[in-house]
């Protein structure tokens, strides 16, 4: 057998073994996290709820994929396998892309987008005034959240917290609004009120890493760095172990991880210390303890 082929086969074997070992490590970590949650009496709340429109649209895309497969099978004996696959699955991919793009465009709030563009051009006060006027007539969650973001940039944290709270009330499906409200509450003060709110969120969805990470930021504001580090560790592990059950979106969670790593460094292993209380966000002096599609 040629040496080149032996090297290629050996490299493939090493890659397979490495992937297998990696998967074993991930599963062991997931089991450890789940066991730690059970010891604390924390029960995952399951997959996050989604709006009925989003569920119907996903079902529609699945139906397109099934139809594309049917067309492929129907055409194969007539025009050949390659051409049938190109028409059936190629057409399916194009349709899914077009409908997905249209869905994203329809979900985008034009008023919120225009206000964000105005602020980016340098007229932040004008953008805030425009959103406040529109919110009095036609309130939406996206407009409220954009207003909260602009108010935060203007260091008007109390008003920003109120705006995110309004977004939270208008859209119960987008957990990022709850995180935004907590982060503005901790800046506006008192931080204890923000801590109490994030503990409520953690108790409702103990598997959500985003809430644990937000808790870490709140604890940092309270100068409880050891507990913040533990919440950061827990947040990252929960995000990996319950990836499909996260309520906070991936962009928001990634932003929280980046902020915390800049201030605290990279995390180690979480869930090493028993915590007091139901959520573990605020415990003892020991290190314990976090839209638009």
- Asked if residue 30 belongs to a domain, the reply is no
Nearest CA among 211, 218, 199 for reference residue 236: 211
| pLDDT in the model for residue 157 | 92
Distance CA 201, CA 250 (A): 17
Full residue range of the structural domain in which residue 86 is found: 52-107
Is residue 99 in some structural domain? yes
Asked if residue 157 belongs to a domain, the reply is no
Q: Please report the pLDDT score of residue 58 as a whole number.
A: 76
Tokens 């032996």 sit on residue: 6
Residue 73 domain-assigned (yes or no): yes
Number of domains in the chain: 1
Tracing tokens 């979106």 back to the chain, one arrives at 249
pLDDT for 207 equals 87
Residue 195 lies in a domain: no
Q: Distance between CA atoms of 27 and 215, rounded to whole angstroms?
A: 26
Crossing angle, helix 209-221 and helix 250-264, to 10 degrees? Answer: 40
In a domain, 83, yes or no: yes
In a domain, 85, yes or no: yes
Q: Is residue 70 part of a domain?
A: yes
Residues lower than pLDDT 70 in the chain: 1, 26, 28-30, 32-33, 37-51, 101, 103-107, 267-293
Q: Whole-prediction pTM value? A: 0.67
Q: What is the 3-state secondary structure (H, E, C) of the chain?
A: CCHHHHHHHHHHHHHHHHHHHHHHHHHHHHHHHHHHHHHCCCCCCCCCCCCHHHHHHHHHHHHHHHHHHHHHHHHHHHHCHHHHHHHHHHHHHHHHHHHHHHHHHHHCCHHHHHHHHHHHCCCHHHHHHHHHHHHHHCCCHHHHHHHHHHHHHCCCHHHHHHHHHHHHHHCCCCHHHHHHHHHHHHHHCCHHHHHHHHHHHHHHCCCCHHHHHHHHHHHHHCCCHHHHHHHHHHHHHHHHHCHHHCCCCHHHHHHHHHHHHHHHCCCCCCCCCCCCCCCCCCCCCCCCCCCCC
Beta-carbon neighbour count of residue 154 at 10 Å?
15
């Amino acid at each position: 057998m040629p040496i080149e082929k032996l090297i290629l086969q050996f490299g493939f074997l090493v890659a397979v073994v490495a992937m297998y070992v990696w998967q074993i490590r991930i599963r062991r970590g997931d089991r450890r996290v789940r066991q730690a949650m059970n010891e604390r009496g924390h029960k995952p709340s399951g997959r996050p709820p989604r709006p009925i429109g989003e569920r119907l649209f996903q079902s529609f895309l699945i139906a397109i994929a099934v139809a594309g497969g049917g067309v492929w099978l129907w055409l194969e004996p007539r025009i050949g396998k390659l051409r049938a696959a190109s028409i059936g699955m190629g057409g399916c991919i194009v349709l899914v892309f077009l409908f997905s793009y249209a869905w994203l465009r329809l979900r985008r709030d034009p008023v919120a987008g225009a206000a964000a563009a105005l602020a980016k051009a340098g007229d932040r006060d004008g953008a805030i005034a425009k959103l406040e006027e529109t919110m009095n007539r036609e309130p939406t969650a996206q407009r409220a959240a954009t207003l909260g973001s602009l108010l935060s940039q203007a260091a008007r944290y109390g008003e920003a917290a109120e705006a995110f709270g309004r977004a939270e009330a208008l859209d119960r499906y987008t957990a990022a609004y709850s995180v935004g409200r907590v982060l503005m509450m901790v800046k506006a003060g008192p931080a204890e009120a923000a801590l109490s709110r994030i503990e409520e969120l953690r108790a409702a969805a103990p598997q959500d890493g985003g809430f644990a990470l937000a808790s870490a930021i709140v604890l940092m504001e309270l100068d409880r760095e050891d507990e913040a580090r533990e919440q950061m560790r827990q947040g990252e592990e929960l995000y990996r172990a319950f990836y499909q059950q996260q309520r906070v979106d991936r962009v928001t969670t990634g932003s929280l991880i980046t902020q915390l790593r800049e201030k605290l460094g990279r995390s180690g292993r979480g869930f090493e210390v028993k915590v007091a209380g139901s959520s573990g966000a605020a415990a003892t002096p020991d290190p314990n303890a976090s839209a638009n599609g």
